[in-house]
Amino acid sequence: MKNLISHSVSIGISMFWLVSEHHIYNPILLKGPDFLAFYLILIITFYLSIFMVRLIKGSVSGITTFFMIFILGVGIVKLIRGLMLGKPIGFLVIILIVEVFVSLFIMSMKVKDKLR
């Protein structure tokens, strides 16, 4: 339950920023730099929530995996939209690659916890 709450807070923070700054609810409609700012807020707060849960001796659960896939999916949708519109997508590709590596690292922590 604490994982669900902490991960929901990270999504809530990024959505609050989105609505307060841009007055929309759909991050896919944002222009490039604005989407990157939204996406970085989302990723940073999400991974901070994971490490805070780990600090209080929590474990990485299936909810965490679901949120990681959801956040990666938002980035991939925006990547595809950028490709279809012919927009530059270099920074988003770099962010997505780093996100995949961090997700794999976190999933390896989950496997290590199960082995103990």
Contacts 24+ apart (CB under 8 A), 66-72: 67/7, 67/11, 68/103, 68/106, 71/42, 71/43, 71/46, 71/99, 72/96, 72/99, 72/100, 72/103
Checking if the pLDDT of 79 tops 80, the result is: yes
% of the chain exceeding 70 in pLDDT:
92
How does residue 49 score in pLDDT terms, banded at 50, 70 and 90? confident
- pTM, two decimal places: 0.88
What ranges do the domains of the chain cover? 2-115
Question: pLDDT (tens digit, 9 = 90+) per residue, 2-48?
Answer: 678 878 888 899 999 999 999 999 999 999 999 999 999 999 999 99
